[in-house]
Amino acid sequence: MKIVVLSGAGISAESGLKTFRDHDGLWEGYNVYEVATPEAWQANPEKVQEFYNMRRKAVLEAEPNRAHYLLKDMEQLADVHIITQNIDNLHERAGSRKVLHLHGEITKARSSARHDLLYAMDGWELKMGQLCELGSQLRPHVVWFGEAVPAMDEAEEITAEADVLVVVGTSLQVYPAAGLVHCVRPGTQVYCVDPAASEYSKQSNVIHIPEKAGTGLQKVYDALRTLI
């Protein structure tokens, strides 16, 4: 059995990492469009670097939570693929082996000149003046608003092969990632872990679990154990 998990910011919130959609578009006092767009980078790269340095520091100080470890435990039941909208590395640190990051990885830097030139970071700070091998400024390896999502094709292929889809920690409001739920084959069982109901969670093939990530995924795990 192939279980595909679509995870969002709500799963990392339980590790203390902030989500901007809970604060009317403000992320710890920043307007996201002033720090998370190509235009923001062109206008004020120092501000963008500072913002992501603080996010990276918070990620490195955070620890995986119960939800992350439950997804790792699911690998004992089936072939688990995680497609995450999150830029942190908490899934990997919990031990999950197959993780696809749609929006990049904050623990890596990339060239401003070529998006495929990536560099692992040692520590939390990326400074102005740090250059790639082509001589261009290094920027955070994240997909900003208005940029293409290079991993979408792979994510769609993985989702289309799912026997079970688990949606956790996402309100399904950010596209194109939210469109992945429509890639599953007709009749595929879907578990939607979200404290709030949505139009999607009311569909006939969706089991809505109105819980936070940790408690909700425990119910999903228990249900899957009875099926496998």
CATH of the domain at 52: 3.30.1600.10
- Tell me: do 186 and 166 sit in the same domain: yes
- Tell me: do 68 and 23 sit in the same domain: no
Domain extent at residue 41: 18-61+104-142
- Note whether 194 and 119 are within 8 A (CB): no
Active site residue 103: yes
Give percent of the chain with pLDDT exceeding 90: 83
- Tell me: do 173 and 220 sit in the same domain: yes
Coil, helix or strand at residue 17 = coil
Please state, in angstroms and rounded to a whole number, the distance separating the CA atoms of residues 8 and 169: 4
Domain boundary among 92, 118, 142: 142
Which residue in 103, 115, 182, 208 is the catalytic one? 103
What's the pLDDT score for residue 216? 97
Collect the ranges in the chain with pLDDT lower than 70. 20-28
Domain boundary among 121, 142, 163: 142
Distances (CA, A) of 2 to 84, 184, 213: 16, 12, 20
Q: Write out pLDDT tens, residues 75-118.
A: 999 999 999 999 999 999 999 999 999 999 999 999 999 989 99
| H/E stretch holding 138 | strand 138-142
Task: Judge if pTM exceeds 0.75.
Answer: yes
Number of domains present in the structure of the chain? 2
- Tell me: do 172 and 113 sit in the same domain: no
- Tell me: do 209 and 127 sit in the same domain: no
- Tell me: do 126 and 172 sit in the same domain: no
